[in-house]
Structure 1
Amino acid sequence: MNIVCSTLNAKYIHTNLAIRYLKAYAEPDFKITLAEYTIKDPAMNIVIDLIRKEPTVVGFSCYIWNIEETMKVIKMLKKINPSLIIVLGGPEVTYDTFLWMEKIPEVDFIVIGEGEETFKQLLTAIHKSKDCTTVSGIAWRNNGEIMINPQRNKLDLKTLPSPFRFEEDLPHLSKRVTYIETSRGCPFSCQFCLSSIEVGVRYFDREKVKNDIRFLMKNGAKTIKFVDRTFNISRSYALEMFQFLIDEHLPGTVFQFEITADIMRPEVIEFLNKKAPPGLFRFEIGVQSTNDYTNELVMRKQNFKKLTRTVTMVKEGGKIAQHLDLIAGLPEEDYTSFQKTFNDVFQLRPEELQLGFLKMLRGTGLRNRAEEYGYIFMDDAPYEILGNRVLSFADIIKIKQVEDVLEKYWNDHRMDHTIEYLVSRVFPTPFDFFQQFGTYWDERGWAKIGHQLDDLFKRLIAFLTYKGVKDLDIIEGLMKYDYFINQKYKPRKSWWSTSYLKTKRTHLYKQFLKTPTILGKEFANLNLQEKSLLKHSLLEEVAFDIKKYINEGIIERSPSCIVAYFDPIQTKTTIFSCQLTDLEPAK
């Protein structure tokens, strides 16, 4: 048989771990070809590529982000080749399996739940006798009637072969995210999450996992993401793996983990803060809500005080970037409560704050109780909510406005000093800033168009001017600082009117070349010649002592001249400044 395992990833940089486990488990009895696409690829292009492979069996790994596009591909494939055997698997079709078999008559089989052994047994049945009645954990058709066989017992994960040793994957490791498991299952019972359905946590063989990681790094993998639902559920296990990664990582490699922050012990964080190289680890932490009643309704155990302690200790350590998640639309969390949740979490100043919307996943307890809370949601994937009895669709629209500007102005870190000033000194709360700016942004149609970096600065200034914000010159000075500090090369144009005419700039440059210590010892040590300084720097005036604000957080109205030097060798920007009172007036 010619067997193809395929999926449609959300992005090109993603890889699908499931189909690689299927391939590894089926070998050497069956030779499987992997075929990955993205949801952005035209369905016709996918179909053409698959048909050219002349498959006997095509298996698709299905998720909420790809099921709709996958169905289009399946229907076309079956019309072109009615004898083609189509198998589905994955979390999206594991639940409501009977309905999926009815909805997609082109599908011959659905593998339910954990698929490695089931898929291999199914291939064996197809190959030998086409009698599938004894295969556990599948849905199939018997003369048009849909049949479902109960799932098999869980696998012993320690016996699974490695999914990372395929020659065809090696050239792509450096360009894509590599996903790895050290465990399956979750100890918690959050009713909005599929992981709550599986009871208990099972672990892979530790030494096999370590050997896989060594192999991946040796062959160029740069971003390795652990998909364990709670990586740190076992403190001893997590510490062992952290120590291994610290000891054996290769330069440029980043490891990402999903962490439950409120169960992480301070001594573990102290160990990481002391031993981990900067940038080696990245933590993803699901906060979801700080409303205790909401968390109780979804059976989510969370101690926000301990979570805050963990996030704060990690941030103070300065070694590990943190990505915190919120979910809008959980039971009994109205707009006002979500506003508090947002402010509670933003107060921690995570490097990234992801604002998502509740999705009523098939098989979850919350979907089964949707009517109890008055939920309305999309009929098709991703099943995102459209409202409930305490959160209207109008409220959801407003929160989506927050999401849009939060992504552009906080998570992308284009103007950290400016946003920090606005959320802490200008607007009543961080949520107020993002909501008001998001509404202004949306009303002008900016959510529907693309943006250059300069556009983001111009649009923020337009919003602040519209709001009549005081001390706009201070804010504009911070924006200039942020703009410069995030540039690798000298920009060819600016979004503001330049501070100095040519004669004034010439006068200032002469002073800096004559007495470089005006800008400090670090500038003087650069020993810049006139040609290099003129070519690779910019001068601007700001309305306050920028050095004092950056170092001490104090705004002192005393005009400064800032010099942004764009180092062409190290491709980094350094900003120097001096008070105008320290400079000689132009003659």
Structure 2
Amino acid sequence: MSIDILFVKSVTGGSEAFFSSNQVNGYNLTRDVPLPSIPVLDSWIKYKGYTTDYFDLDRNGHDGLLEKANDADVIGFYLNFSVHFKVMDAVKRVKNRFPEKIVVIGGPSILDLKENFYNLSSSRFPLLVKEKVGLYADAIVYGDGEIALETILHHKDNPDEIGNLIDNDHESSWGIIYKDTKGKIHVSTKPGLVSELSLLPIPNHEIYKNLIPVAFVETSRGCPFGCPFCEMPDLSTSFRVKDRKQIITEIDYLQQIGINHVIITDPSIYPSNRMDMLSEIFAGRGMKWTGFAKPGLWNSSEPFYSKETLRKAKDSGCAVLFFGGESASEKTQKLYSKPKLEVLLEMEHRCKEVGLLSCWSFMILNPGETRQDVDRLINLVTEMEPGMCVFSPFLLMPNSEMDKHPKEYNLRITDPNYKLKAAELYAKFSSNAGAEKKEKIGHMIEKYPRLMRFLLKLRMHKVNYFECIETGFGLSDGAFEMLRVESTLNRNTNIQVGKSHYHLLIEMAAAEG
């Protein structure tokens, strides 16, 4: 029986850097994690009268994919740079076997590339031929995917009509980049946007049978803040929320199908009364939930959430809240419009007072920062002593304000083509991921810091696509300092370093089955 669209799942990647064990209660923690977007898109497409199917590439492999794809008119892939090569290999196999079928790719990595996606290449043989693997995709979707996918399905029998819609800036084509049958690329300059979230049906979380029983739930889309380092600046111009009734309906449904662990995907639970609303919705259900929280604002001396709000969250089943601390430099905090250090300390103090676990994230060697600032960060985190903490080197993100105006942020881009190399660079960078590998490298840094700094810089020389004008520090310097921070905190504190709220909830859900 023919179906309209087949959704293909592949792991989001990077999980191996956080899990010390790969197996919990029969679940594989790097393979059996659901993806947030597929249940949402599946429900929307069915709501619009089309038929769908789902395929797990990680569990069933390429042969199973080709068998499934035979029955579909459109095949949709989710792409993240951490699984870039695996997904693009699958795309190539599908397109070679079924050239008449429409292959669509979406996901967060698309925002970095847009039409440049078609120029992506990978080595067919080491150091020999480069093949433009991006050309195997017919359409690319960025932004909200619902209406864009609906448009592609509506015109699947005459897909070149999609190009005409894009050329005329028709609203139904927003968020689509399409390569027509003659090879011409049509680019929509506006991201896909569902303006009224009340139009969305309940996501089909039952699609993920046999995966870890955890659900990703969005109570809003977009972001009310405009962080200059964010790779998705359009988020700050399109903040939309779901109402209380809509959220209750989805949580009721999750309980009915036996899912009791929820990750709120909103970039920030904002404003603070929405934290109270979520606590009221989850109260008395016996569920566990987590989400991204905001510690405060630069121009305020008070944390964003009161002690009573945090206590209500804890009592309702909130297992942990994730806070973006960003830096231990007041200068950097002001640059990013982030809270003063005293606010970070007070927010952590309030969490401890109500018994709520926290996870904090910080970036290492932001523009203008020195190794002394890194030492201050170690001291700050040691004083805060949160339950968990995650770190990353500062990254100049494509399409961010810092990327568009690097000199204003004390930065120099040394490789203007870095966006096209991002997938390959990410693969090399993540090859050193994994809890065990990072622990070994940390020990080596403690014993031989100068040697390890040199070796890391040598290994990552192609990854250094930017540097700070003032200090000369680049990505490899940030990576070294990150490993030094993690090693120091692991040795001197009881903080779970490198583990986030996201991974804690996944482990809890897997353990409880």
Q: State if a TM-score over 0.5 links the two structures.
A: yes
User: Judging changes above 3 Å, is the alpha-carbon distance between structure 1 residues 197 and 215 closer, same or farther for their aligned structure 2 residues?
Assistant: same
CA distance in 2, matches of 1:367, 1:36: 35
CA distance in 2, matches of 1:88, 1:274: 41
Between stretches 66-75 and 184-193, larger displacement belongs to 66-75
> How many Å apart are 1:157 and its aligned residue?
0.6
Pick from 3, 6, 9 the counterpart of residue 4 of structure 1: 6
- Secondary structure of 1:327's counterpart equals strand
Matches within 5 A, 1:219-298: 219-231=257-269, 233-246=270-283, 248-250=284-286, 253-262=287-296, 268-273=306-311, 276-277=314-315, 280-297=318-335
CA contact (8 A) 1:139 1:148 kept: yes
> How many Å apart are 1:35 and its aligned residue?
2.3
CA distance in 1, matches of 2:312, 2:101: 57
- Secondary structure of 1:194's counterpart equals coil
User: Judging changes above 3 Å, is the alpha-carbon distance between structure 1 residues 56 and 229 closer, same or farther for their aligned structure 2 residues?
Assistant: same
CA contact (8 A) 2:104 2:137 kept: yes
- Secondary structure of 1:57's counterpart equals strand
1:18 aligns with 2:37: yes
User: Judging changes above 3 Å, is the alpha-carbon distance between structure 1 residues 161 and 392 closer, same or farther for their aligned structure 2 residues?
Assistant: closer
Give 2:451's aligned residue. Answer: none
Letter in 1 for 2:111: T
CA distance in 1, matches of 2:385, 2:193: 44
Give 2:201's aligned residue. Answer: 161
> How many Å apart are 1:266 and its aligned residue?
7.6
CA distance in 2, matches of 1:301, 1:57: 44
User: Judging changes above 3 Å, is the alpha-carbon distance between structure 1 residues 115 and 185 closer, same or farther for their aligned structure 2 residues?
Assistant: same
Letter in 2 for 1:107: A
CA contact (8 A) 2:295 2:305 kept: no
Letter in 1 for 2:61: I
User: Judging changes above 3 Å, is the alpha-carbon distance between structure 1 residues 183 and 141 closer, same or farther for their aligned structure 2 residues?
Assistant: same
Give 1:50's aligned residue. Answer: 65
Pick from 39, 45, 56 the counterpart of residue 36 of structure 1: 56
CA distance in 1, matches of 2:482, 2:304: 35
Letter in 2 for 1:84: K
> How many Å apart are 1:46 and its aligned residue?
3.0
- Secondary structure of 1:27's counterpart equals helix
> How many Å apart are 1:189 and its aligned residue?
1.3
User: Judging changes above 3 Å, is the alpha-carbon distance between structure 1 residues 392 and 212 closer, same or farther for their aligned structure 2 residues?
Assistant: closer
> How many Å apart are 1:315 and its aligned residue?
1.1
Matches within 5 A, 1:434-583: none
Give 2:79's aligned residue. Answer: 62
Give 1:380's aligned residue. Answer: 422
> How many Å apart are 1:376 and its aligned residue?
5.2
Give 1:398's aligned residue. Answer: 480
User: Number of matched residues?
Assistant: 401
CA contact (8 A) 2:44 2:201 kept: yes
User: Judging changes above 3 Å, is the alpha-carbon distance between structure 1 residues 86 and 406 closer, same or farther for their aligned structure 2 residues?
Assistant: farther
Pick from 359, 364, 370 the counterpart of residue 400 of structure 2: 364
CA distance in 2, matches of 1:274, 1:82: 55
CA distance in 2, matches of 1:224, 1:312: 25
CA contact (8 A) 2:275 2:313 kept: no
> How many Å apart are 1:98 and its aligned residue?
1.5
- Secondary structure of 1:105's counterpart equals helix
CA contact (8 A) 2:73 2:156 kept: no
> How many Å apart are 1:37 and its aligned residue?
4.0
Structure 1 residues 351-376: Cα deviation after superposition (integer angstroms, max 9, x where no partner): 01111123333322223345751355
Q: Percent identity?
A: 18
Segments of 5+ residues of structure 2 without an aligned counterpart are 14-29, 121-133, 166-171, 430-462, 498-513
CA contact (8 A) 2:360 2:390 kept: yes
CA contact (8 A) 1:12 1:37 kept: no
CA distance in 1, matches of 2:6, 2:321: 35
Structure 1 residues 431-465: Cα deviation after superposition (integer angstroms, max 9, x where no partner): xxx9xxxxxxxxxxxxxxxxxxxxxxxxxxxxxxx
- Secondary structure of 1:350's counterpart equals coil
- Secondary structure of 1:322's counterpart equals strand
> How many Å apart are 1:392 and its aligned residue?
5.0
Between stretches 257-266 and 184-193, larger displacement belongs to 257-266
1:74 aligns with 2:91: yes
Give 2:383's aligned residue. Answer: 347
- Secondary structure of 1:323's counterpart equals strand
Give 2:442's aligned residue. Answer: none
User: Judging changes above 3 Å, is the alpha-carbon distance between structure 1 residues 283 and 363 closer, same or farther for their aligned structure 2 residues?
Assistant: same
1:117 aligns with 2:147: yes
Letter in 2 for 1:16: L
Structure 1 residues 512-561: Cα deviation after superposition (integer angstroms, max 9, x where no partner): xxxxxxxxxxxxxxxxxxxxxxxxxxxxxxxxxxxxxxxxxxxxxxxxxx
User: Judging changes above 3 Å, is the alpha-carbon distance between structure 1 residues 237 and 276 closer, same or farther for their aligned structure 2 residues?
Assistant: same
CA distance in 2, matches of 1:62, 1:201: 24
The alignment's C-alpha RMSD in Å is 3.0
- Secondary structure of 1:257's counterpart equals strand
CA contact (8 A) 2:6 2:53 kept: yes
Give 2:136's aligned residue. Answer: 106
CA distance in 2, matches of 1:64, 1:234: 32
CA contact (8 A) 2:345 2:384 kept: yes
Between stretches 50-59 and 70-79, larger displacement belongs to 70-79
TM-score, normalised on structure 1?
0.62
CA contact (8 A) 1:177 1:223 kept: yes
- Secondary structure of 1:65's counterpart equals helix
CA contact (8 A) 1:279 1:321 kept: no
> How many Å apart are 1:150 and its aligned residue?
3.8
User: Judging changes above 3 Å, is the alpha-carbon distance between structure 1 residues 196 and 309 closer, same or farther for their aligned structure 2 residues?
Assistant: farther
TM-score, normalised on structure 2?
0.70
Letter in 2 for 1:259: A
Pick from 229, 244, 248 the counterpart of residue 192 of structure 1: 229
Give 1:332's aligned residue. Answer: 368
CA contact (8 A) 2:102 2:156 kept: no
Letter in 2 for 1:239: D
CA distance in 1, matches of 2:318, 2:194: 33
Letter in 1 for 2:388: E
Give 2:459's aligned residue. Answer: none
Segments ≥4 residues shifted beyond 4 Å: 263-267, 375-378, 382-385
Give 2:339's aligned residue. Answer: 302
Give 1:213's aligned residue. Answer: 251
CA contact (8 A) 1:262 1:306 kept: yes
The higher relative CO (CA closer than 8 Å, separation ≥ 6) is in 2
